[in-house]
Amino acid sequence: MKFFVDTADTKEIAELAATGLLDGVTTNPSLIAKSGRKFLEVIEEICGLVEGPVSAEVAATDYEGMVREGEVLCKLAKNVAIKVPLTLDGLKACRYFADKGREVNVTLCFSAAQAILAAKAGAAYVSPFVGRLDDIGQDGLGLIEEIVTIYDNYQNFTTEVLVASIRNPIHITASAKMGAHVATIPPSVLKQLVHHPLTDKGLDAFVKDWASTGQTIA
């Protein structure tokens, strides 16, 4: 499973990129707004921090506007993936950019039927929102399983399932068991994956035992 980080905080991205665990970045207008910085400036900086795809979302909701804004984003860096909403205009824009060889992330997916449309439109990624479905009492992980099963039935579907709106490590491990290709993870949740009480306890014991020997390695 590939790990993307879901943030526009360039300091967080640089820190996580240095671990070698990061495969890409996703952003959205809300995350950019929180940064208080200029949209294009932030996207360009992020693209310089990671080699993998950086999903940059268009703000327009009509086809012509999406294409116009997407063309601007494409000029920022080769690893910009155009992010469009799962609407008819968004799917049309997806096909436009896919035909030009640009990766497209179709976002705000909440049903398997929508995911089929994204695949047919040539999306590189479809982003089903697990947490938001859980919030309204629906089965977010069940949707991931449905989409993965459907995509596996058709060899001509090359779209990757990018699990979004992740709230906890269980969302990640469960999605990985189902065969989802990518998880886009808030920095705080990504860091949670490292921790386990037995790891901390074991390390503490090792440190104390080593200190008792009075030795050094270097």
Structure tokens at 159: 């779209």
In the chain, DSSP assigns E strands to 2-6, 24-26, 54-57, 80-85, 104-109, 125-128, 160-163, 182-185
C-alpha pair distances (Å), 139 with each of 66, 128, 143, 188: 31, 12, 7, 23
Tell me phi and psi for residue 63, to 5 degrees.
-55, -50
Name beta bridge partners: 162. 182
Q: What DSSP state is assigned to residue 164?
A: B
Judge whether 34 counts as a catalytic residue: no
Burial class (CB in 10 A: 0-12, 13-18, 19+), 128: buried
CB atoms within 10 A of CB 99: 9
Of 75, 78, 83, 208, catalytic = 83
Query: Integer distance in angstroms from the first to the last C-alpha of the chain?
Result: 37
Active site residues: 83
